[in-house]
Structure 1
Amino acid sequence: MLKPRSTATRELVNLDGIWRFAVARDSACEPWTGPLDTRLEAPVPASYNDLFTDSAIRDHVGRVWYQRPVRVPRGWAGERVLLRVDAATHEGTVYVDDVLVARHVGGYTPFEADITEHVRPGGEFRLTIGVNNELTRVTMPPGSITVTQDGRRKQTYLHDFYNYAGLARSVWLYSKPAVHVDDITIVTGLDGATGTVDYSVETNAPAPVRVRALDAHGTEVAAAEGPNGTLRIDDVTPWRPGAAYLYDLVVDVLDGDGEVVDTVTEQFGVRTVEVRGSRFLINGEPFYFTGFGKHEDTPVRGKGHDDAYLVHDFQLMEWIGANSFRTSHYPYAEEVMEFADRHGIVVIDETAAVGLNLAVEAGLLGTPPRATFSDETFGDDTRAAHAQAIRELIARDKNHPSVVMWCIANEPSSNERGAREYFEPLVELTRTLDPTRPVTYAAVMFATHENDLIADLFDVLCVNRYYGWYIATGDLATAERYLEGDLRGWAGTFGKPIMVSEYGADTLPGLHSMWDAPWTEEYQLAYLEANHRAFDRIDALVGEHVWNFADFQTSNSIHRVGGNKKGVFTRERHPKAAAHALRRRWLPLGGRKPSPTGEYLKTE
């Protein structure tokens, strides 16, 4: 799905701002039929949970309503008029006046509706969007709803971050011509000093297509005609980690007289990604990931996208020497992906499939274990929702050069019976949709090289490991031995690249001790050092992502006091001592792998 942009043939109106807001108190009401009966207002984009002082709004389970008037520009006569919602967490229903025009399930990917027949240029309409925050066994992420003795509906879920909801990303009104581009797919390669650009253009009706590639100065460097083909760019400047270079693919749709009726520009970078043996290669060169699992999480806004935090977070990643991050545990806003494209930050792009592990439920609640994969728990209908999440992720992000790998799940119960039957079709689907990028998942600590049932299906093995925190807490000598043995087991069993996609220790800023006391800043430093010593002895290791970039909010739980504190920055982005230590380790690496002696390992 192409992101709407303003071009010579298309116009774009941003609908962000203050909207009327109401919590659905009666499922039988139809608030879209008139002005919302409410005194509340809410900003878009933002999660609504932390905006108000009423705990009933924060804890509400079900639908909320946003509403605002929208005027269609009068110059759009004869154009198609579309409404696009960048995200509605977790289900969105859209009404134009009294008419339902769209419904979408999935809280982190965009959807849109052609509303041409329901509006008129120069006229105004009432836009109402309902957002439902409910999680069930057939949503991504999954969850369950219970009813308390006093009749309140209560949401539970298995992921360790707060279930922020609402319109957390932008809403748009845009126009496009009657005959137009629907989609563009770009796949790049390198042939010596020449870049190859395979392109495919989908239009809504048969029409001549012209394609041009422009360099960063706007100079045409290649051109072709037809909806499918290959461009060759001589003396190409590749997109590299830390040294981004972007080209423009300009696509023109022509009428019978050769006049342009639609024009769309899609940016791309020329680069290759490959797994060879136990190495991860970008442009044929070994790459070592340094960085974080992150979250879209800030005070007051929740998961609401904020350009100021976007810029500041990337500045902090550059300062600390991070060359990459994982979109844990859902697709991030498209503005984040575009920023990574422009600044040469490598991205592991993840679906919202987190919580497919009922062993975690049993451990946290002390309840009898249930089978994770079954008709009653996570079965065919869950997998269908998971497959749709994969389709929408790849459709949105397939052209981003920063995206080098698809992560289709975080910490599933991959050691349980039924895991292979559940995941094998999803891996095949991912490779069918995009055969050019490696596929991975992040393995939970319960899954080892001895009992994991799906690792052989994937290209890169990402493992989340917390030796020294959840296991061997406070005993870092033992933790280091456990970790090294664990990683050597994965390397010896599967012969694939291994990445530690999570490791970290909760840390209260300002808490200190002379000894290895968990929760202190000294312990976080010692914990990271022990992990790094083990990492540097594993030749197959291709990366390290600390959990987490910054502290983040979680559900109310005795296991989390004020949220998850594993960040090396506080939630307000103040550095803990660990941030300075990581900077000393990562800045000299430059994407190369360290060795136990402090030298750089040979990577060929």
Structure 2
Amino acid sequence: MTSSDERAGPVPVGSWARPEVVALNRLPMTTFLREDADVLSLDGAWSFTLLNRPGGAVRCATTVQVPGCWTMQDVGDPPQYTNIRMPFPGPPPHVPEENPTGVYRRSVDIPEAWRGSRVVLHVGGADSVLYVEVDGRPVGMGTDSRLGQEFDLTDLVTPGRPCELVLTVVRWSAASYLEDQDHWYHAGLHRSVLLYRTPRVHLADVRAVTDRDPATGTGLLTVHATTGEARSEGAQVRVLLDGEPVGAARARWEHPTNVHANAYLFTGRGATVAAEVPAVAAWSAEHPHLSDLRVELVDADGALLDAVGLRVGFRRVEVRGHELLVNGRAVLVKGVNRHDHDPRTGKTVSRAVMRRDVELMKAHNLNAVRTSHYPNDPYLYDVCDELGMYVVDEANLETHAYLRSLLTASEWGPAVLERVTRMALRDKNHPCVVMWSLGNESGWAPILDAAAAWLRAYDPTRPVHYENGYLDGSLAGGLTPPESWRVPRRETDVVPPMYPSVEHLEEWATAGQLPERPLIMCEYAHAMNNSGGDLDRYWAAIERHPGLQGGFVWD
């Protein structure tokens, strides 16, 4: 690895310690939709060098497996566990001078068959800051350890020839202050790495919005297909559901000369197709009915330019009065919290283990999971769609060590919005996701109201969840927990307390008219030390009192 000055290229030196530096040259987040034939897996053995700091001295040179946490591969940098306090001294945004930095290197043969295609690097998860180089040239960087990052390599690689790909991961960063969860801290490329290709004129993303009227059984499908910058005049987007055509629309691009058309008529690249689907089966945790959606981009003569497929489910999720309704019926949330964690591989969790997790939940009559406290591996959501599990999808945001102060500083705002919006952009098509969560134990700040407002505007089909605003309101206003739960808040559509007593739940449920939102415990039944038990009393209260709709067990 070169020195930090040389390596950083267009990235400011020390950018890992600057909260406002979120990403550079990273592609917008999309749902990953490419088929195996267009994918080149880079999983496996990588040359690995561990430095004591970015651009610093070599501590270890070896070979490691990707995906895999280097903290679990005997390189001399172990995992660390903390709760509340950071694993290094502060204050924000300072990081330690001794800062383990992993340099992953391998030669990649770009297939000759990819000539003329667009080539994209996909890094599924890098803990905590990622820098990308190709043949010694800086490509870009990005933060958020629990979401994928993509970089366009089209102009940097040549099909039929090898290139050297270098991925540098800095363990501690300003972003670490936003990822202060109660868990084992790991480091490295903990999810899969791959290259994929698309045609030059391609579908960049698909957003499939579904609804189903519980009274009539009629579904509504609205497909927003986004195209890339390269254009094909007269192209159309065609949509098929379970093999049957449901509609088509002409694809849009910017007008090449008409300024006023671009300013007042153009609403974005791509096309929108909407169609009614009569007598469609509903998706629910009990009956997870899925349909196959295919979206095609064809040229003016009808020749196929690009196509992607995904599975969709028709259901309606809403908060009405003091109830969370799925398909018009109130549900009792019998949920658990889940970390991506394996005792042998850390944050790298195999598909077999993820599927087994959900199978065990279903076998024990659970119907919901909260992805505490970050977006889980994308495969988990596929399994929840398939087997039937309600998901509260949580952004990778926790500032526990500086809970009531960090987000009030404006320099952290861009990172918060990136984490929340990119989560929704990745997971938008999963019927299992019934609520978005802004994060965990990060106090309250105006940026959280802004993030919630963005979610509601982008996706009005799902409520927004966030617990810690109620705690902040209680502390600031001197209120008891039940009193604070009755105060309207902008950053959440539900009341999701953490470890309430049964007495406080009953007080909230019986002290006058219920608020226009349900109470669903985001965490309860924490068995650390000697605090487990009372599940019978919790569920007696939940089943007795309207407005109480269950919760998510911690452990």
- 5 Å-filtered alignment, 1:498-537, equals 498-506=519-527, 519=530, 524=532, 526-537=533-544
Is 1:13 aligned to residue 35 of structure 2?
no
CA distance in 2, matches of 1:493, 1:357: 34
Is 1:181 aligned to residue 213 of structure 2?
no
Percent of aligned positions with the same letter in both sequences? 28
- Show CA shifts across 1:158-198 (max 9, x none): x3112222111111111111100111111112242321101
Within the candidate set 239, 242, 253, 2:297 is matched to 253
Within the candidate set 225, 228, 249, 1:201 is matched to 225
8 Å contact 1:505–1:527 — kept in the other structure?
A: no
CA distance in 2, matches of 1:373, 1:492: 34
CA distance in 2, matches of 1:3, 1:358: 34
CA distance in 1, matches of 2:276, 2:523: 40
User: Structure 2 counterpart of 1:183, which letter?
Assistant: D
Within the candidate set 429, 446, 469, 2:454 is matched to 429
TM-score of the superposed pair, with normalisation by structure 1: 0.73
State the 1:455 CA deviation.
Answer: 2.9
- 5 Å-filtered alignment, 1:116-265, equals 116-136=154-174, 139=175, 142=178, 157=180, 159-191=181-213, 192-204=216-228, 205-207=230-232, 208-215=235-242, 219-220=243-244, 222-226=246-250, 227-265=271-309
- 5 Å-filtered alignment, 1:362-377, equals 372-373=404-405
Instruction: Name 2:516's counterpart in structure 1.
Output: 495
State the 1:505 CA deviation.
Answer: 3.1
Within the candidate set 331, 335, 338, 1:287 is matched to 331
Residues 56 and 109 from structure 1, CA distance in 2 versus in 1: closer, same or farther, beyond 3 angstroms? closer
Instruction: Name 1:321's counterpart in structure 2.
Output: 365
- Show CA shifts across 1:231-252 (max 9, x none): 2222212212222222222122
CA distance in 2, matches of 1:457, 1:311: 32
- Show CA shifts across 1:283-341 (max 9, x none): 22222211101111111211113112112111110111111101110001111111111
User: Structure 1 counterpart of 2:31, which letter?
Assistant: L
State the secondary structure of the residue aligned to 1:49: helix
CA distance in 2, matches of 1:326, 1:27: 35
Residues 321 and 57 from structure 1, CA distance in 2 versus in 1: closer, same or farther, beyond 3 angstroms? closer
CA distance in 2, matches of 1:425, 1:78: 41
8 Å contact 2:239–2:293 — kept in the other structure?
A: yes
CA distance in 2, matches of 1:53, 1:75: 37
8 Å contact 2:238–2:298 — kept in the other structure?
A: no
- Show CA shifts across 1:483-524 (max 9, x none): 4335656x85633111011112326xxxxxxxxxx64xxx73
Q: Which moved more, 1:227-236 or 1:177-186?
A: 227-236
Instruction: Name 2:495's counterpart in structure 1.
Output: 461
Instruction: Name 2:52's counterpart in structure 1.
Output: 25
Is 1:406 aligned to residue 436 of structure 2?
yes
CA distance in 2, matches of 1:378, 1:456: 16
Is 1:450 aligned to residue 494 of structure 2?
no
State the 1:19 CA deviation.
Answer: 1.5
State the secondary structure of the residue aligned to 2:503: helix
Q: List alignment gaps of at least 5 residues for structure 2.
A: 1-29, 81-86, 88-97, 251-270, 475-480
8 Å contact 2:33–2:310 — kept in the other structure?
A: no
Residues 434 and 93 from structure 1, CA distance in 2 versus in 1: closer, same or farther, beyond 3 angstroms? same
Residues 62 and 488 from structure 1, CA distance in 2 versus in 1: closer, same or farther, beyond 3 angstroms? farther
Residues 263 and 221 from structure 1, CA distance in 2 versus in 1: closer, same or farther, beyond 3 angstroms? closer
8 Å contact 2:483–2:508 — kept in the other structure?
A: no
Instruction: Name 1:84's counterpart in structure 2.
Output: 122
CA distance in 2, matches of 1:265, 1:379: 42
CA distance in 1, matches of 2:471, 2:538: 15
8 Å contact 2:60–2:76 — kept in the other structure?
A: no
CA distance in 2, matches of 1:142, 1:18: 30
Instruction: Name 2:259's counterpart in structure 1.
Output: none
Residues 121 and 170 from structure 1, CA distance in 2 versus in 1: closer, same or farther, beyond 3 angstroms? same
Residues 255 and 298 from structure 1, CA distance in 2 versus in 1: closer, same or farther, beyond 3 angstroms? same
Within the candidate set 136, 158, 162, 1:98 is matched to 136
Within the candidate set 433, 441, 448, 2:466 is matched to 441
8 Å contact 2:239–2:273 — kept in the other structure?
A: no
8 Å contact 2:43–2:67 — kept in the other structure?
A: yes
8 Å contact 2:171–2:187 — kept in the other structure?
A: yes
CA distance in 2, matches of 1:65, 1:53: 12
Instruction: Name 1:49's counterpart in structure 2.
Output: 71
Instruction: Name 2:258's counterpart in structure 1.
Output: none
Instruction: Name 1:71's counterpart in structure 2.
Output: 109
CA distance in 2, matches of 1:326, 1:111: 23
CA distance in 1, matches of 2:507, 2:459: 34
CA distance in 2, matches of 1:464, 1:52: 37
8 Å contact 1:340–1:346 — kept in the other structure?
A: yes
State the secondary structure of the residue aligned to 1:325: strand
- 5 Å-filtered alignment, 1:503-582, equals 503-506=524-527, 519=530, 524=532, 526-547=533-554, 567=555
